[in-house]
Amino acid sequence: MTTRAKKPAPTRKRPASRANTKSTGRASRFLKALLLSSLASFGAATYVLQPKWPAQWSPDAILAHLGWPQKTIYAPVAVPNGALTQTRFADCPQFFPQGTLPAVPSGQALRELCFSAFAILHNGQTKTPVFVAERLNRKLLTQAQGMQRTDKFYAEAHLPSGERANLDDYKGSGFSRGHMAPAGDMSSKEAMAQSFSLANMVPQDQTHNAGPWSRIEQDTRKYVMRAAGDVYVYTGPYYDNKPRSIGYGVAVPSHLFKVVYDATTGRSWVHWQANSASTKESAPISYEEFQRRTGLRLLPAAN
């Protein structure tokens, strides 16, 4: 008599346990951290060997391509930290009064850029200027009155790709590309073209840019036209404790400042404006109060 073998009972699939789910999540986080670490190491070496490595191969761009959601990027806090860095600007000292070069709170990725009509101290962490310095007078502004605005914005090739803003960063952001050294101050075709470098820009509220801030720029030019000699102007952003950003980490300032210094009279004042649509024109603050708020040392010491 032939005995038939019994078929084994079918194995029932059990639902994945919570432990397995947690394990999968930990594995995913581990792989992401591993990739980020590898990208960071590779990126550091790449910037040394090839500082113009394309932005599409940045860690953020690769993660976005892989479909991992990107969290809001917060720019570093730009507040005094007790230590100052002395700038040099060896190639363009003419933009600074009486040979006084600014000292600023120390930070990483600070780079000096010299253009034909202005100088920039650039912060690679915020991808915006620390300040932009100009030397203005009646002759230069008279020449500037005949200049045609070009509106050809461009990414600054003199900055490493990981430290500079790009045109795509501003697309769809809701912010305008706010000039720090205004196009209206430019007295030559070369200067006009250079003023549209994104190194000279910050994300600025459009209403503020076209309204109160534009009137401050115009009033500054009117003062320069009446002044007896050179007037030095420093313009830049200020950030609160947790600034938001647009694009790949271009920081949005909470405030903008414009320091005006008449070298003939020794007078100085500072326009201090919130980067907001609701901002109105207000009385300037003193240079001493500006120093207290920002830690920036821009002007010659008072006699």
Predicted model pTM: 0.74
Can you read off the two tokens belonging to residue 116? Answer: 């034909």
Q: Are the C-beta atoms of 59 and 40 separated by less than 8 Å? A: yes
Query: Cα separation of 88 and 271, whole Å?
Result: 25
In this prediction, residue 12 has a pLDDT band, given cuts at 50, 70 and 90, of: very low
Task: Write out the chain in H/E/C secondary structure.
Answer: CCCCCCCCCCCCCCCCCHHHHHHHHHHHHHHHHHHHHHHHHHHHHHHHHCCCCCHHHCHHHHHHHCCCCCCCCCCCCCCCCCCEEECCCCCCHHHCHHHCCCEEECCCCEEEEECCCCEEEEECCCCEEEEEEEEECHHHHHHHCCCCCCCCCECCCCCCHHHCCCHHHHCCCCEEEEECCCHHHCCCHHHHHHCCEHHHEEEEEHHHHHCHHHHHHHHHHHHHHHCCCCEEEEEEEECCCCCCEECCCEECCCEEEEEEEECCCCCEEEEEEECCCCCCCCCCECHHHHHHHHCCECCCCCC
Per-residue pLDDT for 6 more than 70? no
Q: Is the pLDDT of residue 121 over 60?
A: yes
Which residue has 């210094």 as its token pair?
261
| Of the listed ranges 57-61, 143-147, 202-206, the one predicted with least confidence | 57-61
Please name every residue paired with 271 in a beta bridge, in sequence order, or none if there are none. Answer: 258
pLDDT mean across residues, the chain: 82
Q: How many CB atoms lie within 10 A of CB 30?
A: 10
pLDDT at 30: 55
User: pLDDT per residue over 181-222, tens digit each?
Assistant: 999 999 999 999 999 999 999 999 999 999 999 999 999 999
Q: Select which of 179, 208, 255, 271 is catalytic.
A: 179
| Token digits of residue 260 | 């005006």
Least confident of 3-17, 25-39, 148-162: 3-17
pLDDT recorded at residue 26: 58
Structure tokens at 263: 């070298």
Could you tell me the pLDDT band of residue 241, with boundaries at 50, 70 and 90?
confident
pLDDT band at 27 (very low <50, low <70, confident <90, very high): low
Rounded to an integer, the average pLDDT of 208-237 is 98
Spatial separation of the C-alpha atoms in residues 248 and 58, rounded to whole Å: 9
Q: Quick one: pLDDT band at residue 82, thresholds 50, 70, 90?
A: low
- Give Cα 264 distance to the centre of its chain: 32
Which residues have a Cβ under 8 Å from the Cβ of 83 and sit 6 or more positions away?
Answer: 105, 106
pLDDT of 293 reads 97
Verify whether residue 122 is a known catalytic residue.
no
What pLDDT sits at residue 288?
97
CATH superfamily for domain 84-294: Extracellular Endonuclease, subunit A (3.40.570.10)
Residues of the chain with CATH 3.40.570.10: 84-294
* Confidence class for position 23, pLDDT limits 50, 70, 90: low
CA distance 24 to 36: 18
pLDDT at position 98 = 87
- In this prediction, residue 5 has a pLDDT band, given cuts at 50, 70 and 90, of very low
* 147, pLDDT greater than 50: yes
Written as one letter, the residue type at 222 is K
